[in-house]
Structures are given as C-alpha cells and as structure tokens.
Structure 1
Amino acid sequence: MAASTDFNFDNWEKRSLDRKKVYAQRLAKIDKKAALKKLPRLHEQAFEKVDCLSCARCCKNYSPRFKMPDIKRISKVLGMKETEMITTYLYMDEEGDYVVKSSPCPFLQADNTCQIYEDRPSDCARFPYTDEDVLFKRKNITLKNAEFCPAVYYVLEKLFE
C-alpha cells in the first residue's frame, strides 16, 4: 500500500469491521445523486493510495462471477473449449453463478498480477465498484468488500466525512 500523508490506513481492517453498522446506516440514507457525483473522484484518490498488486486480497480470497461472455472470451484466450474451462476452473454456486473452484484465483500469478488481466471477467474489471451506484444499491456487497479492500474502506470513509 502506498504511503499517505492525508489518510491513515493503520489497522484499517479492524476499523472497517468496527464501522460496519455505521456504514450500513449511512448507505441506507445516502443522497444517491450527491454520492454519484463524488464517487469518481474518491475512486481515483483511493487508487492513488492503494496498490492492488501489493494486496490482491480480492483474488486471494474471493471469486468474481464468470458470466457466459466472460467464459467465451477467456476460454478462447486460453485455447480451451468453454466446457473445458468450466470443468477445469469453475463451478456453479448456490446463486447459479459460475465462480472459481479454488482460492486463490487460478489466474493470479506469484507477483499478484493476473494471467488473463486484459480479458478478465467484467466483475474483476469493475471491482471494487467504488465509482458506480453499486456502492449503495448493493449495500451488502459494499460492506463485505470494505472488510478486505482498503480502497472501499477509503471511499466509504471519505464519502461520509
């Protein structure tokens, strides 16, 4: 994580958990229009301070949804049939979504880069949703993401200052 002079990331995981209830209450009452105007700037600031390659917690512990367009595109890049990619790397979860079979993500490399970065699932490309309305429309995802992603923590803290 990059050093920051104006924001303290020390013990951010604990502070995020401690503030989960506060985040939930504030997200429920948020002025969506005003928040949408602030999110792009806060998202950009977060990623000036957070180095994903030094973290990769999302890839190490969770799975994106692999939608059929993602599966078609990635299997082509990997030189596999779609069914082969699914049986090799994915399973269908209880919500009916394809997700990776194992953690960390099988496409995460030792240096925390992604083997399929240019063709990654749309969920990965959009993660952590801190520059879009998903932040308050899907509050449970935001709260979960704040537990393991310092960028989400930063955006929530700054949004509610």
Structure 2
Amino acid sequence: MDLELHKIQALQKQKEHQKFLAQLKKKPPKNLDVTVQNIHDEVFKNINCLKCANCCKTTGPLFTEKDIERISKGLKMKAVDFENRFLRTDEDQDKVLNSLPCWFLNEDNTCSIYEIRPKACREFPHTNRKKIYQINHLTIQNTVICPAAFSFVEKMSLHLQHKK
C-alpha cells in the first residue's frame, strides 16, 4: 500500500467525509450500530494491518494508568521507570509515547507487547464503536492515518446513500 497516496486521497476527501459524518450525527439512521459493525467487519476482511502499521509508525496512543500498570508489569519494570523511558506528558496532560515510531513495533510490523498493548491500540481505528457519530473528529483524523478507517467511511457513505 502506498501510504503517501492514501494520505493525499484521504485529505482530498476530508470535507466530503466531514459532511457525511455530520449528517450521521444530526440524524442517525435506524440500526446504525449494526451497520457500523457490519461494515467494520467487511473492511477488515480485506485489510491486513501488518502490511501497513501506519498507526504505529506515525501516531502514538494515549496511555491510561491501567495501561501503564499492565504494560510495565508485563515488561517487569516499575511503572515510573516505564513512564520515564517510553512516555511523555503532552499538552493535554495525557501520557503518550515520547518518540515515533512506537517503541514496541517490530520490523515485521508486529507488536512486541501485543497481548498487553494499550486500550487505544486495541480499539484503533475505532470503526466498530457504538454511536460512532460521537467520535466524528477522531474518525476524520484516522482516515488520514489508516486505510481501513478511510475505506470504512467510504463504504458507510455509499451504503447509507444507497438506502435513501
């Protein structure tokens, strides 16, 4: 996958996607959560995250206190040592990676802490969330980073326009 081309396409369609997602928020269709889950499942049948890993290369997850406790324990480190080595506090006072790509991304795009990875990583790109219109800003950001999120919004838009 050409990630630079993907980014250009996603940015070109950003206004169209924002308009579509704003309409979803104004008047969510019946059974939206079911439709979201079905399209999410369809998209991920055709996309292999291990061939991309753009999220791990270009953006860092937010680390909750639970994440920090779980991961540091899994790495047999003190939480404070884990934070000092891998994290920083951003402008919103959130704990995030202190550098990119992610420290735990292997050369083959696998994750060295996959079983204990942060909640934000487990949920990314958040395209199977109930009441998806509550995270429109995040979905738009994710379409630029993640080919699956882009495909999800495209398919949702086509599906819901087709139903009219």
Question: Do they fold alike, i.e. is TM over 0.5?
Answer: yes
Instruction: Identify which of 22, 27, 30 aligns with 2:16.
Output: 22
Cα distance in 1 for partners of 2:29, 2:117 equals 29
Q: How does 1:41-56 map to 2 (within 5 A)?
A: 41-56=38-53
Would you identify which runs of 4 or more consecutive aligned residues in structure 1 move more than 6 Å? none
Matches within 5 A, 1:3-152: 11-30=5-24, 31=28, 33-133=30-130, 135-152=132-149
> Which digits, 9 at most, give the CA deviation of each residue in 1:110-132, with x for residues without a partner?
11000100000000000000001
Question: CA–CA distance in 2 between the matches of 1:135 and 1:64?
Answer: 19
Higher alpha-carbon deviation: 14-23 or 31-40: 31-40
TM-score where L is the length of structure 1: 0.89
Instruction: Quote the Cα distance in structure 1 between the aligned partners of 2:146 and 2:12.
Output: 15
- What is the root-mean-square deviation in Å for CA atoms of aligned residues? 1.6
Q: Aligned partners of 1:32 and 1:81: how far apart in 2?
A: 47
Structure 1: segments with no counterpart, 5+ residues: 2-10
Alpha-carbon contact 1:75-1:85 (below 8 Å) kept: yes
Letter in 1 for 2:143: A
Q: Kindly provide the CA deviation profile for residues 77-109 of structure 1, in whole angstroms up to 9, marking residues without a partner as x.
A: 001000000000000111111000110000101
Identity %: 37
